[in-house]
A and B are shown apart, each in its own frame.
Chain A
Amino acid sequence: MAYSDKVLDHYENPRNVGVLDKDDPSVGTGMVGAPACGDVMRLQIKVGDDGRIEDAKFKTYGCGSAIASSSLVTEMVKGKTLEEVEAIKNRDISDELALPPVKIHCSVLAEDAIAAAIADLKSKQQAKAS
């Protein structure tokens, strides 16, 4: 399997590895995938008072492309509003990383992780509002 330079770069120097406080109401956590499928992604986003994402962290169990996809996503979401982040599609990720067809599912999983993190954040905000 030949990896693109961008995948190798993210794999060897993953950005924003880490954990945010999942109980913080301004933090949304999305965990997707399953060990049996070979990849589990945990993406966390933290929104600032201006409604833009000020921090993002990830941890991923998976192949190089899965690690690179989630690392890239943390970079992509920072500074964006939730609406802008929701507009990110797996195609944006797979194109940027030049993923081969057999690895497209990694970018799909990353898109799912974004959706899951936003859903978690919104449910927290609703709980707070009610």
Chain B
Amino acid sequence: MSSLNIPIYMDYSSTTPVDERVAKKMGECLTQQGYFGNPASRSHSFGWQAEELVEEARQHVAALLGADPREIIWTSGATESDNLAIKGAAHFNVKRGKHIVTVKTEHKAVLDTCRQLEREGFEVTYLDPMENGLVDHDQFRAALRDDTTVASVMHVNNEIGVIQDLKALGAICREKGVVFHVDAAQSPGKVAIDVEDMNVDLMSLCAHKAYGPKGIGALYVRRKPRIRLEAQMHGGGHERGFRSGTLPTHQIVGMGEAFRIAHEEMEAENERLSKLRDRLLDGIKDLEEIYINGDMEQRIPGNLNISFSYVEGESLIMSLKDIAVSSGSACTSASLEPSYVLRALGRADELASSSIRFTMGRYSTEEEVDYTVDLIKNAVSKLRELSPLWDMYKEGIDLDTVEWAHH
């Protein structure tokens, strides 16, 4: 079987293709022959059938989290969920305090939401992660104050794939009476979730990183003890008033089916992806001056984020044009700025190095990994051959001591 599709997709943390099984189910909810009804229509079978499908999907999502289906609120995606969770909880609890704790390596959907709250008069503490990308538990505990109402920590980091210890952080939040929000956009199908065991109060999810469609997500909202939120979207009072707007049956069914499959196939898939990731790493590990970003143990199997020293990022991406990868995160890679996530890890050699995020997934193959290995080796060797900085490194010159003509 030799059927390499160029470019090779190695960017599964940006988004995933919709699984055929999911697409089929979605297609059944669109046309006149299908379940096109409005799930909120109470007076006829079109509405009832659609509602049944929506509730079935809700069960699948809840099952993956170890939650009750009544704790799942449909949204348009993880960004909306993050906004609803953080703003909603911060606003609702404003009489108790106006302090929020989060981490510098969070997704922009969390960081920019916090910035907005700062403009509204809230105070936010942005914690530095440790060098491996993980949050120091003692530092986290120390950051929670009497007036802290919400703490937001992501489960799996989108750039470096590290997995935070939610159980430990959740226990601290519960003890301190702080609402614990988790952005888990990257988790489903990659790492087990149990909101009870982890004491998570709010959890943001989306479908499109787990082989479901774009434009649909969910927010888990704990019922016991009940977490109250101030709604951000007002209207028909859908989703128990948390989020108004007609439910998109096909999107929801797609997310439900995607999560059902993700839950079912996680173990086998993780084993397969671990092997592919090791194969990729083994293939390139003989290159000099490369560094892995983020902890290798507490990490999802499909992610490898590597810094290549003395190679400039844009030209590296250019010579890797046969593979689809990200430099930094997809949301920021157009701006040519070094990744804020890697900077937060305190990488000293950030200046003259470029980092590439390889993320593999359901349709990645050994053949694709082998092709990628050859491509990287050739590209890095070629660019270093072209690089005056590589020459200087080889001559033993410390680049930090050189006086550069800044322009």
Within 8 A of A (CB), among B352-392: 352, 385-391
B310 touches A61 (CB 8 A): yes
Within 8 A of B (CB), among A15-62: 17, 19, 31-42, 59-62
Within 8 A of A (CB), among B258-295: none
Q: A3-B318, A59-B386, A60-B387 are in contact. Are A36 and B312 (CB under 8 A)?
A: no
B314 touches A17 (CB 8 A): no
Chain A residue at smallest Cβ distance from B336: A38
A33 touches B314 (CB 8 A): no
A-side interface mostly: mixed
- CA gap between A77 and B406 in the complex, in Å: 25
| Chain B neighbourhood of A40, CB < 8 A | 387-389, 404
| Chain B neighbourhood of A108, CB < 8 A | 407
B41 to chain A, nearest CB (A): 48
B391 touches A64 (CB 8 A): no
Flag B316-329 by CB within 8 Å of A: 1 or 0 each. Answer: 00110000000000
| Chain A neighbourhood of B318, CB < 8 A | 3, 11, 63-64
- CA gap between A105 and B206 in the complex, in Å: 40
Give the bracket for the number of chain B residues in contact with chain A: 20 to 34
Q: A3-B318, A34-B406, A35-B352 are in contact. Are A42 and B388 (CB under 8 A)?
A: yes
A34 touches B310 (CB 8 A): no
A36 touches B351 (CB 8 A): yes
A17 touches B386 (CB 8 A): yes
| Chain B neighbourhood of A1, CB < 8 A | 314
Q: A35-B351, A38-B336, A59-B391 are in contact. Are A14 and B386 (CB under 8 A)?
A: yes
Most buried by B among A14, A38, A61, A63: A61
Chain B residue at smallest Cβ distance from A112: B407
B385 touches A17 (CB 8 A): yes
A67 touches B389 (CB 8 A): no
A109 within 8 A of B: yes
Q: A11-B318, A62-B312 are in contact. Are A67 and B386 (CB under 8 A)?
A: yes
| Chain A neighbourhood of B352, CB < 8 A | 35, 61
Cβ-defined partner of A35 (8 Å) among B315, B319, B385, B404: B404
| Chain A neighbourhood of B312, CB < 8 A | 38-39, 61-63, 66
B405 touches A34 (CB 8 A): yes
B111 to chain A, nearest CB (A): 24
A61 touches B314 (CB 8 A): no
A61 touches B387 (CB 8 A): yes
B192 within 8 A of A: no
| Chain A neighbourhood of B407, CB < 8 A | 32-34, 37, 105, 108-109, 112
B200 to chain A, nearest CB (A): 40
B355 to chain A, nearest CB (A): 14
Q: A34-B406, A34-B407 are in contact. Are A64 and B315 (CB under 8 A)?
A: yes
| Chain B neighbourhood of A67, CB < 8 A | 315, 386
B395 to chain A, nearest CB (A): 11
- CA gap between A14 and B318 in the complex, in Å: 14
B399 within 8 A of A: yes
| Chain B neighbourhood of A64, CB < 8 A | 314-315, 318
Cβ-defined partner of B314 (8 Å) among A19, A31, A63: A63
- 26 pairs of residues in contact across A and B, judged by CB atoms under 8 Å: A3-B318, A11-B315, A14-B386, A17-B385, A17-B386, A31-B405, A32-B405, A33-B404, A33-B405, A35-B389, A36-B406, A40-B387, A59-B388, A61-B310, A61-B312, A61-B388, A61-B390, A62-B315, A63-B314, A63-B315, A64-B314, A66-B312, A66-B315, A108-B407, A109-B407, A112-B405
The 9 nearest A-B residue pairs measured at CB: A34-B404, A35-B352, A63-B314, A42-B388, A59-B388, A61-B387, A61-B389, A64-B318, A35-B351
